[in-house]
Amino acid sequence: MVVLQNANTITSLSTLFLTTAWPTSVPTFEYYVAGAVLVMLPGNQIAVCGGYYIDNDIEFCAYYKANQGYWMRGPTFGSLPSFGMAINETTLLLAELRYGGRSVIVTMDQLRKTGPTWPTAACATQINATTAIFIGLNRGKTNRYLSIQDLSLSQDGPSTVFDRHDAMCGVVQDMSDPSASYAILTGGQVKNPVTGIWDYTRSTEILIIGSDQWIEGPDLPAVTFRGQLVTAPDGKSIVLSGGSSWDENGVRTFEKSLIRFQCANGVDSCRWTKLEIEMDHGRSDHVAAFLPENDFACFKWD
């Protein structure tokens, strides 16, 4: 797993595996940044896009290709993305979710065009090769599907259990049934249906992809927001790295933990498990991804 530190530290790339931490040959990231998005492109390319540092927005992507040896700056796109997705080997869709608004379609060397617009969303994730889902529109329970082929927002998806905002989401396969996969939505803030007050949560919701209902899943070990969910290469687990929480005095804390989500046999078997290894530093608003084993010379496995 590759983790980009947040703006509170010297920004660099470091690798983590689930049992041992190793340094990486990926060169130091050249920009101070928090709140960016990381997209793995086909051909073993990394794109780190957008984000901010203090009062300055980062309005471009930096690209790295395996064994290239340096980061390459892409075109300026003039927006602050909180979601990114590869459309093909050279093209990205970047979108703002927390405040709503425009999206852009970019390549390594040009800003191609403006993408679709949409309201605010709690989270978005790609659920298969043709479709992504935008969850919690306008801080509510409504979801919309996005066609990757023509970038159109289609019919409403099934409503979530809670009104939710600033959450984390991803997709995982069932470990016993390769045909079954689940979208999960966790952490962030939920709205109390009685008082109307928003509060941070450790709750999780699960959607069996292809069904029409979200159900409540297992809670996170602690209240968490602004962490990163990354699906493992085999698709059968998701790892939550870092994130923020609150201590007993109401002070914001930054987590070092790595927490794995797996479903051993059906949706009722889904569990969060805290791994023994953790990051050296607490992180929030960072980016993370798994790297291919064979394409980074110093990426060592045990």
Give the pLDDT confidence of 197-219 residue by residue, as tens digits.
999 999 999 999 999 899 999 99
Asked if residue 194 belongs to a domain, the reply is yes
Average pLDDT, the chain: 80
Asked if residue 170 belongs to a domain, the reply is yes
Residue in this structure with the two tokens 């968490």, named with its chain if needed: 224
Asked if residue 302 belongs to a domain, the reply is no
pLDDT band at 279 (very low <50, low <70, confident <90, very high): confident
Higher pLDDT, 299 or 55: 55
pLDDT of residue 170: 95
pLDDT of residue 9: 31
Split into its structural domains, the chain has a count of 1
pLDDT of residue 17: 36
Asked if residue 300 belongs to a domain, the reply is no
Residue in this structure with the two tokens 């019919």, named with its chain if needed: 155
Domain that holds residue 196: 2-295
Collapsing DSSP states into helix, strand and coil, what is residue 48? Answer: strand
Give the pLDDT confidence of 283-294 residue by residue, as tens digits.
888 888 776 653
Dihedral angle sign, alpha carbons of residues 75, 77, 83, 84? negative
| Residue 47 CA, distance from chain mean position | 13
The CATH number of the domain holding residue 162 is 2.120.10.80
Asked if residue 247 belongs to a domain, the reply is yes
